[in-house]
Amino acid sequence: MPATTVERTKEAATLATPREKAPLPPRLRAVDVRVSGTQGEILKGITLEARHGEILSIIGPAGAGKTTFLRALNRMNDLDPDLCVSGQVFLDGWPVYDAAVDVALLRRKVGMVFSVPVPLPMTIFRNMAFGPSLEGANSARTMERVEAALRAAYLWDEVQDRLEEPARNLSGGQQQRLCLARALVLQPDVLLLDEPCSGLDPISTAKIEEALQRLKKDLAVILVTNNVKQASRASDRTAFFLFGEMIELQPTESLFTTPQDKRTADYISGRFG
């Protein structure tokens, strides 16, 4: 039988509807990551992925294992001989803990910004150019990368005429944005941030959060924060850690409005932590 007008309309609408894009594979994936120290188990089997184009926040009280987890992702825990790491981490499908992995290259690809800014004892420009110079970048290309990274960290306008000044002349908030730019100049695939705004004023915090919203378009971002309000406004998904376990992982809005675990609800409402 010939199709009716209604059927033809439905068919046309179906054909006109764009297909949903398949979700991108995780940029970084942790599988059953466990870390033990002299005092016992710090992480108890964390499985978690970070996706391109999103900010993943990790919240939880002190001692939950948040920083230890971050340091497991780019093998910074290797620097502590008392720690034993098991499980696996994959960067774009490649096993991070494979014996053949170049750890220095890994840490360029999985950059990290710490809670306390630590500028190198040199000029602002040399802080920025140090990494590219180790890669053999020429002067013109280095300058391009330095400017692009400083702009991405919302710092270029404040320092473009001060590049030959000592980096320690900058304010605390500027120093933290310099450390963010210093990670970005290496063009990482994943950015790890461990309490990057803990000692900053609201204006500096807002600038870093705005920078992260732009940066997530090009890489995966994992943000550890003790500030639940920051997690709620800055992230796409949020994980709650407690005593080395991941208690819950949800889209941020869902976790903060309808947490599935009472411990999560108690933490975000301020009953403990």
Q: Which domains are delineated in the chain?
A: 24-268 (3.40.50.300)
Bridge partners, residue 26, by sequence:
51
Tens digits of residue pLDDT in 48-104:
999 999 999 999 999 999 999 999 999 999 999 999 999 999 999 999 999 999 999
Residue 6 scores a pLDDT above 50: no
Burial category of 126 from C-beta neighbours within 10 Å (exposed 0-12, middle 13-18, buried 19 and up): middle
Residue 135: what pLDDT?
77
Q: Half-sphere exposure (CA, 13 Å, Cβ side) for 268?
A: 26
Q: Half-sphere exposure (CA, 13 Å, Cβ side) for 228?
A: 19
Provide the whole-model pTM: 0.88
**Cβ burial 76-86 (10 Å sphere, 16+ → b, else e):** bbeeeeebebe
From CA 90, how far away is CA 147, in angstroms rounded? Answer: 31
Burial category of 17 from C-beta neighbours within 10 Å (exposed 0-12, middle 13-18, buried 19 and up): exposed
Tens digits of residue pLDDT in 17-47:
444 455 567 899 999 999 999 989 999 999 9
What token pair was written down for 258?
């309808």
What token pair was written down for 132?
């590219």
Question: Tokens 């926040």 label which residue?
Answer: 57
